Amino acid sequence: MIRRWLLNLGLAALIAVLALVVVFKPGTHKTPAIPPLTDLSINRIDHIRLQRPGQPEIDFERSSSRWVMTAPRKARANSFRINELLHLAVAKIATHFAAPAADLGRYGLDKPRAEVWLNDEQISFGEPHPLDPDYYALYRGQVYLVPDHYNNAATAPLSGFFSTRLINIRSRLISLRLPGLTLTRKPDGSWQVIPPNKKLSTDRVNKFVDDWRYAEALSVRPYSGKPVIGHIRIAFAPPATGAGHQTVAIGKPPSRDQNAELNLGILERKSELILYRKDEDLEYHFPADMAAQLLELKPH
């Protein structure tokens, strides 16, 4: 009887010890959370400014739900690059230390390769770390080691900040006028093709229109002055109230009873396809096979 009582007591003690091990986890400790680089919220950043030695200042502003470049020219901004710069605000960086002004030259921060303003917060980029794929950055008197992709975003060429999308995919096309071909959306949502081709299926026509909606250039560059060899006119439905519609052109948006139009110029279609957006003064470069995909509507 006493032996059984002692056994029960021992089992109870063992259970209590195991419970303490589960609760307190001896031998382990929680790693302290790494704070973000700044206390800015990404959603509250509405202005980004870049300064790099020997290059024009680049400015971006948030307009509704999109970002636009306002200097040195007006254009739609590359969302990938903008997101990289925005996430610099919340980058979690463990290594940082104070550096007197006299020591900044050791890290290339006396003459930064790039300076980024997120709203009014300034972050300067210096030299790369000699051993790690990181860069020295200065923020509020502290030197940080930041991953190299933030430096790549801050030092990208001007052309890398242009949106590669030819048109906004949220825009609703209602007509396409190409050399020798016109497509017009009918009230029932189908497309009228001129000249007509009975061999064209509805799916083929819809895919052709989608190819235009989703067209994305390999590169975007300032207009070279090359002569226009063909013209394209695209019309879009007016923005619907509360639909979050984004206008196509950089400038004054159309009223709700006015269609938006975009005029494009064809600069080249053999070695590559180059389309010119006059409203942005930019040319969009596509592979040569995109000329047939965007300019020729043939049955599969």
Query: Are 150 and 206 part of one and the same domain?
Result: no
Helices (H), the chain: 2-24, 79-88, 148-154, 202-213, 290-295
Q: What tens digit of pLDDT does each residue of 45-98 get?
A: 999 999 999 999 999 999 887 999 999 999 999 999 999 999 999 999 988 999
Domain termination site, one of 141, 161, 181: 161
Residue 254: pLDDT over 80? no
Task: Tell me the one-letter amino acid at 241.
Answer: T
Q: What angle do CA 109, 149, 102 make, to 5 degrees?
A: 10
Residue 108 belongs to domain spanning: 42-161
Which pLDDT score is estimated for 17?
A: 47
Summarised one tens digit per residue, pLDDT across range 171-204 is 899 999 999 999 999 999 999 999 999 999 999 9
Percentage of residues in the chain with pLDDT exceeding 90? 74
pLDDT of residue 25: 53
Mean pLDDT for the chain overall: 87
Mean pLDDT value across residues 35-43: 94
The answer as to whether 236 is a domain residue is yes
Do residues 167 and 212 make contact, with C-beta atoms less than 8 angstroms apart? Answer: yes
Flag whether 33 is in a domain. Answer: no
Same domain (yes/no): 177, 291: yes
Q: How confident is the model at residue 26 (pLDDT cuts 50, 70, 90)?
A: low
Instruction: Write down the pLDDT at residue 105.
Output: 95
Q: Which residue, 137, 161, 185, sits at the end of a domain?
A: 161
| 29 or 274, which is more confident | 274
Give CA angle at 193 (192, 195), nearest 5°: 135
Domain identity same for 98 and 190: no
Question: Quick check: is 249 in a domain?
Answer: yes
Average pLDDT of span 150-156: 97
Are 153 and 244 within one domain?
A: no
Q: Write down the pLDDT at residue 256.
A: 42
**pLDDT over 80 at 257, yes or no:** no
Q: Which helix (H) or strand (E) holds 42?
A: none
Asked, as a colleague might, if the bond just before 56 is cis with ω within 30 of 0, I would say no
Q: How many domains does the chain have?
A: 2
Mean pLDDT of 119-124: 98
Q: Is residue 59 part of a domain?
A: yes
Same domain, yes or no, for 178 and 104?
no
Provide the pLDDT for residue 10.
Answer: 52
Q: Examine residue 29 and state whether it is found in any structural domain, yes or no.
A: no
pLDDT digits (tens, 9 = 90+) for 203-251: 999 999 999 999 999 999 999 999 999 999 999 998 764 444 343 444 4
